Amino acid sequence: AQLAALLAEGKKSSLYAVIVDEEKLAPSVDAYTEGGELAGKFNIWIEGFERVNLNRVDLAIQTALDHFEQEGFTEADLDRVKAVRETAFYDGYNSISSVLGKAFALAEYNIFAGSPGYLSEDITRVLSVTAADVIRVHERYIRDRHFVATSFVPAGDAALALADSVRAEVVEEPIITGREAELATTPERNVAKTPSTFDRSVEPPFGPTPSLTVPEIWTGTLANGVEVYGIEHNEVPVVRFTIRLRGGLLLDDPSKVGVAHLVAHHHLLDGHTNLATLS
């Protein structure tokens, strides 16, 4: 994962520098890994601009990989990508900051690693990755290795695909108007019910009304007059803050409507601009 991030995340990354900045073949690049029980995949995904020949993109990828091999990366670069992954571990999508995230994480570690406690060991392994580890993975799995390249081009523009590509036959299910009711009908099946110690057809009684303990909100004022509101929660080592400025669409110049969209994500209802939410 760290190798993929070093190759594609940020404007200093080799893939971004060559494909987006220098060659201007695409608006962005992406590289990521998919781990499995028996094997994994290393993916590079690039969606080029209109009418861009994918052979040019393929050449640019090779140029970027050569650049990465020659120029390398700094310890600061590696620390940056590890910090991003540590933040996602604690506070990202489906992370352990939520009850649901904890349940999924503990169950998955118990299944695939044999212990739910592997959760702590896993993040330690991520943070202990060294520059030598990244280089070793690059040389073993990426450098001069075989790969599968797929081209997705508009209908009738096969010439934009990579040279020597073989057309893939994709089976498409026909869409037939008027068969919705037929296809939505599920045939009756005699399935034996799982034995239970209680009658599942009877709705259980409601338990006690749950109570909510609202966290204490502290306030303060910075030296420049900016008011600060905060909530302290010590379960995960993450600091999140949002800067809100009065602005947005309500304060747009009528002759230049849309400026707020270009500058930041804005909230139409309260006329505030959310500049950043950083962890």
Residuewise pLDDT in 10s, the chain (279 residues): 889 999 888 888 899 999 999 999 999 999 998 888 788 899 999 999 989 999 999 999 999 999 998 888 989 999 999 988 888 888 876 788 888 989 999 999 999 889 999 988 988 998 999 999 999 999 998 888 899 899 998 888 888 999 989 988 888 888 888 777 776 766 677 778 888 888 888 998 999 998 888 889 999 999 999 999 999 888 888 888 888 877 777 788 888 888 877 776 544 333 333 333 333
The answer to whether 235 and 97 are in contact (CB under 8 A) is: yes
Number of residues assigned to the chain: 279
Query: Rounded distance, CA 273 to CA 261, Å?
Result: 10
pTM of the model: 0.68
The answer to whether 65 and 13 are in contact (CB under 8 A) is: no
Report the relative pairing of strands 40-45 and 272-278 from DSSP bridges.
Answer: unpaired
